Amino acid sequence: MNCLTFLITNLSITQVAISILAFILAYHWYKRPKNFPPGPRGLPFLGVVPWIGKYPERVFAQWSKAYGPIMSVRMGTKDWIVLNDYDSIHEALVKGKEVFSGRPRIQVFEQFHQNHGIVFLDNGPRWKSQRKFGLTTLRGFGVGKRSMEERVQEEAEYLCKSMQEQEGKPFDILDQLTNAVSNNICSVICGKRFGYDDKLFTEVISRLTTNFTNPKTMFMLRIFMFVPFLMKVPPFKRINTTFLGHILFVIDFLKQVVSEHKLTFDKENPRDFIDAFIQEMEAGKDHHFTETQLLQFVRGLFVAGTETATSTLRWSILSMIHYPNTQIKLHEEIVKVVGSEAVVAIQHKEDMPYTSAFIEEIYRFRTLAPLSVPHKTNQDVKINGHFIPRNTQVSPNLWAVHNDPNYFKNPELFQPERHLDDKGMFVKSGRVIPFSVGPRHCLGEQLARMEVFIFLVSLVQKFEFKANPMDDKLPDIVVGSSGQLFVPLPFKVVAKER
């Protein structure tokens, strides 16, 4: 009888202890700072990750209808703040730029950038020094100037010639576009272009595009952002190892380029971005200029400068295939303003309202970086009555801005005309912000916009794009490879010479 009493008593103590522990865990899981933005908490250790699917930006936009434009979501074990409308994004990133300009530490990216570079570098003296150097040096080597325009025009000729060699047969335009766009940034970074048949550069391009166009890889990279311990757990570890291998291959290629520059470096005559950086390294006035920083800075420029314009052009071609009337209007305007043989120049854009509207709609319709690059608060802050503690991750939901029905009627439809006034003139929308806003907006925005215009107009001037006749269905324009970026799935197209 005493034994039975002992068991019951101890069982009760165990149950009470478990209950208290469960209560403490639940209290800490659901606890929030006073006036913290409202939002779902989800499950312990996972948060809302099981519910966000392939397109979390769309889920967040839907949830914001219940929680408001500034909401919190528990991603894994950390709280994120998601900004779901233009006003809140502008309030934080523009008006509150000094507070919201930090970058959080994200393990899946930190494993290769090692807290260097420019894109993921946290706010502070190093970032300010590198950002200033980057802006000044890119301008110095032609970005935003006539000399850069001439390089893009020259590359557009190489691109068109490569497409002529396809002889009207179905092909995947990804490699040619990626090589062409990469050559523009390479001309600034390392002072040279690479032929479309250069084996090493072709391999670099292949490694680069694979990381973005493989849906499984992109999906898992997002999961690793939220639940980083999965990076080391089979079978997910293999995906991370492959992803990292591609990145390291690109970095090794850039190491070779930097080594070649050092052998021929002339401090009196810097030829390109790498030379200008080496010049700063040798001057020794700023300890932030190191070889690791150079490699990561150049890698960031190379990857971001390639993928943004390439994917925008691929979405453009897909849109012309799905909406053939837009291609007819584009070509008519191009022939009228530029002609069928003349070299396309950026100055033509002023007289091409429909083309400008088409490009603006591409940026809106297929938002390339739906949740932008994550920000972090540098100090405690209040925004619209909400309290956000220091070191909280903040994600601007650019997709939600671009699909806000209050400003874009039927946002799910591709309609370039929504950017034209009643006289047919182009009206730039301040609410189309594909490169984000504030001091951390994309460093290469000017170059990307120039490339998209000159390449698109040059291609439509010379070719009519048609769907692959060997495929019964049109390539998908709704589903894409979605992760940090939203890019088209691989597809084949016919480029018929005009």
pLDDT per 10-residue tile (average), the chain, 498 residues: 59 67 59 89 89 94 97 92 97 96 93 90 93 89 74 95 94 94 92 92 91 88 89 92 94 95 92 93 92 94 91 97 97 97 95 98 97 96 95 97 97 97 94 96 91 97 96 91 91 95
Residue spans of alpha helices (H) in 271-393: 273-283, 291-322, 324-337, 353-365
pLDDT of residue 5: 63
The answer as to whether 1 is a domain residue is no
* Residue 273 falls inside a structural domain: yes
Q: What CATH number does the domain containing 429 carry?
A: 1.10.630.10
In a domain, 7, yes or no: no
Residue 22, in any domain of the structure: no
Using CB atoms within 10 Å of the CB of residue 152, give its burial: 0 to 12 exposed, 13 to 18 middle, 19+ buried.
buried
Beta bridge partners of residue 481, listed in sequence order: 487
- The alpha carbon of residue 358 and the mean position of all alpha carbons in its chain are separated, in whole angstroms, by 20
Residue 448 covered by a domain: yes
Query: What's the confidence (pLDDT) of residue 4?
Result: 60
In a domain, 20, yes or no: no
Question: How many Cα atoms are found within 13 Å in the side-chain-facing hemisphere of 15?
Answer: 6
The predicted structure's pLDDT at residue 3: 63
Render pLDDT for 41-54 as a digit per residue (tens, 0 to 9): 888 888 999 999 99
- The answer to whether 442 and 309 are in contact (CB under 8 A) is no
3-state helix, strand, coil in the chain (%, to 5): 55, 10, 35
- What end-to-end distance do the CA atoms of the chain give, in Å? 98
CA–CA gap between residue 308 and residue 312 (Å, rounded):
6
Range of the domain at 231: 32-497
In a domain, 391, yes or no: yes
**Residue 421 CB: number of other CB atoms within 10 A?**
9
Q: Burial-class residue 30 by CB neighbours within 10 Å (0-12, 13-18, 19+).
A: exposed
- Residue 491 has a CB neighbour count (10 Å cut-off) of 20
Domain count, the chain: 1
Nearest to 496 by CA among 312, 321, 311, 309: 321
pLDDT for position 10: 59
Residue 107 lies in a domain: yes
Amino acid at 402: H
